[in-house]
């Protein structure tokens, strides 16, 4: 959402109202994304019990509270850059929502990554269900926004129909600028979190430390790229010309496929423990965890990728299928890398994870299909309506002038003399 706000702010005729619509959608979506963590915490009281333990739990709690304070500082810096870019009120609402999301995420990670805790199956199932529903909120908001703002379809990124070097450079430059805010926040987050982990004491045998470092490396590389890919998807959705959209999709595909392949191969080259685990079943606990991690990544990321593809406005089965294959390959390599990095023992409930992911994915897929079909139905009806002869309105200034009301300005537009 934020990269889109930057793009719109540089568009001719951009108004605070237009940008405000995007920001408001972002705030509502941020609340929606917090729902899964609230549900998870509601079903998992052992996180709160763990805070009072005088052993390693207190050290972990201190670590995460320190991360939380660093997160507040990073959020303040992000808000300062956003305020300068948007010049729109309401940033403090986003600030409070961001603090709530960070707090929930930190305590969630504290409970999940601690080897002694076992998350209840109902808690993880509720998490998957809430996640499947909240993912659909993003698609619905963008659908409403584009329906209410037809002028948003006009972009100046593409001056030619074919993909060439000049077009690629101009497009990449715009997307890179749009990803600075999101990428800057990720860089700050990575630096402060990684530094705090090192200062507190990084132990190779510690499950939390290993997972923390792996997660921070993942965020450092994936969040800026994700911001740029999302911005390009939004632009592709607004573009009506098929040739231009295909050119955008080609750039988006190359960008989204490059990182996970490199990431997965690098992690795989540095650690062959994952392959060993699949072959050697002597350590059944760790062996099962490695398989669960790969399945969880695959089952959770693929529905999200499908949602993003539908939101990008693919109209043909061919484009949809190609993008799905690309995202499948991308997710597989990312899962490979994550499985190599997060190879540690824990007692997470695999049954609960499968149940949560399955239910959440099913609900999310159903709602996404409904939104997509409804969108197609509206577009079909709009096409039919546009073919109906216009109602004749006689302008008082000239009885011979046929005029059409202009919804945006409230005035009349001359159609025919």
pLDDT digits (tens, 9 = 90+) for 175-190: 444 444 334 434 444 4
Mean pLDDT to the nearest integer, 139-164 = 41
Give the C-alpha separation, 250 to 203, whole Å: 43
pLDDT in tens, 293-340: 555 555 545 554 554 554 444 445 555 556 556 656 666 676 666 556
Domain with 359, as residue range(s), is 2-416
On whether the CB atoms of residues 278 and 291 are closer than 8 A, the answer is yes
Structure tokens at 249: 């999709």
Give the C-alpha separation, 3 to 183, whole Å: 10
Confidence check: pLDDT of 77 > 50: no
Per the prediction, the chain carries an average pLDDT of 49
Q: Identify which of 265, 239, 263, 264 has the alpha carbon closest to the alpha carbon of residue 252.
A: 239
Give the C-alpha separation, 46 to 347, whole Å: 13
Q: What is the per-residue pLDDT for 162?
A: 45
349: Cα within 13 Å, side-chain hemisphere = 18
* Overall pTM > 0.85: no
For 332-349, b/e burial (b = at least 16 CB within 10 A) is: bbbbbbbbbbbbbebebb
Residues 6+ apart with CB under 8 A from 384: none
Residue for token pair 């305590």: 107
Confidence check: pLDDT of 260 > 60: yes
- At 216, the pLDDT band (50, 70, 90 cuts) reads very low
On whether the CB atoms of residues 124 and 352 are closer than 8 A, the answer is yes
Confidence check: pLDDT of 272 > 60: no
Confidence check: pLDDT of 7 > 60: no
Mean pLDDT to the nearest integer, 122-142 = 42
Element (H, E) at 324: helix 317-341
List the beta bridge partners of residue 403.
393, 414
Return left, alpha or beta for 178; rule: phi > 0 is left, psi -120 to 50 is alpha, else beta.
alpha
Q: What is the per-residue pLDDT for 370?
A: 56
Return left, alpha or beta for 53; rule: phi > 0 is left, psi -120 to 50 is alpha, else beta.
beta
Q: What is the per-residue pLDDT for 372?
A: 56
- Across 57-156, the runs of DSSP E, i.e. the strands, are none
Residue 239 DSSP code? -
- Helix axis angle, 207-238 relative to 284-311, nearest 10°? 20
On whether the CB atoms of residues 183 and 3 are closer than 8 A, the answer is no
Mean pLDDT to the nearest integer, 196-221 = 41
- At 388, the pLDDT band (50, 70, 90 cuts) reads very low
Q: What is the per-residue pLDDT for 166?
A: 59
Q: What is the per-residue pLDDT for 334?
A: 63
- At 21, the pLDDT band (50, 70, 90 cuts) reads low
Number of neighbouring beta carbons within 10 Å of residue 132: 27
Give the C-alpha separation, 313 to 147, whole Å: 13
Q: Identify which of 5, 12, 209, 9 has the alpha carbon closest to the alpha carbon of residue 114.
A: 209
Confidence check: pLDDT of 97 > 60: no
- Helix axis angle, 56-86 relative to 16-42, nearest 10°? 170
Q: Identify which of 361, 357, 349 has the alpha carbon closest to the alpha carbon of residue 125.
A: 357
Q: What is the per-residue pLDDT for 65?
A: 52
Residues 6+ apart with CB under 8 A from 358: 128, 299
- At 111, the pLDDT band (50, 70, 90 cuts) reads very low
Query: Of the ranges 7-11, 80-84, 213-217, 311-315, which is most confident?
Result: 7-11
Residue 391 DSSP code? P
Structure tokens at 223: 């969040």
Mean pLDDT to the nearest integer, 192-216 = 41
Domain count, the chain: 1
């Amino acid at each position: 959402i934020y990269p889109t706000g930057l793009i719109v702010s540089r568009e001719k005729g951009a108004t605070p109202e237009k940008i405000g619509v995007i920001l408001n959608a972002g705030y509502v979506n941020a609340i929606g994304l917090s729902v899964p963590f609230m549900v998870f915490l509601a079903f998992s009281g052992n996180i709160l019990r763990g805070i009072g333990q005088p052993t390693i739990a207190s050290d972990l709690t201190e670590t995460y509270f320190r991360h939380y304070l660093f997160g507040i500082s990073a959020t303040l810096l992000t808000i300062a850059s956003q305020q300068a870019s948007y010049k729109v009120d309401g940033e403090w609402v986003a600030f409070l929502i961001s603090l709530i999301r960070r707090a929930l995420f930190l305590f969630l990670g504290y409970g999940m990554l601690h080897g002694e805790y076992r998350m209840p199956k109902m808690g993880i199932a509720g998490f998957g269900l809430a996640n499947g529903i909240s993912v659909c909120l993003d698609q619905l908001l963008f659908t409403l926004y584009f329906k209410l703002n037809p002028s948003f379809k006009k972009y100046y990124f593409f001056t030619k129909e074919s993909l060439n070097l000049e077009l690629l450079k101009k497009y990449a430059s715009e997307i890179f600028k749009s990803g600075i805010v999101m990428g800057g926040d990720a860089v700050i987050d990575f630096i402060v979190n990684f530094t705090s982990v090192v200062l507190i004491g990084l132990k190779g045998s510690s499950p939390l430390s290993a997972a923390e470092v792996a997660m921070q490396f993942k965020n450092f590389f994936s969040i800026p790229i994700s911001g740029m890919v999302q911005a390009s998807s939004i632009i592709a959705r607004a573009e009506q010309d098929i040739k231009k959209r295909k050119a955008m999709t080609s750039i988006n595909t190359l960008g989204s496929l490059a990182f996970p392949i490199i990431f997965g191969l690098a992690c795989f080259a540095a650690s062959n423990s994952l392959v060993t685990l699949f072959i050697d079943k002597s350590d059944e606990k760790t062996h099962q965890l490695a398989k669960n991690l790969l399945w969880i990544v695959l089952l959770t990321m693929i529905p999200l990728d499908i949602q993003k593809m539908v939101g990008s406005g693919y109209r043909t089965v061919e484009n949809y299928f190609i993008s799905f294959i690309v995202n499948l390959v991308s997710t597989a390599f990312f899962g490979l890398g994550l499985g190599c990095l997060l190879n540690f023992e824990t007692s997470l409930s695999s049954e609960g994870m499968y149940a949560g992911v399955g239910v959440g994915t099913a609900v999310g897929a159903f709602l996404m299909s409904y939104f997509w079909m409804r969108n197609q139905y509206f577009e079909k009806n709009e096409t039919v309506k546009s073919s109906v002869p216009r109602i004749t309105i006689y302008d008082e200034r000239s009885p011979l002038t046929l005029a059409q009301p202009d919804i945006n300005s409230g005035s009349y537009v001359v159609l025919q003399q």
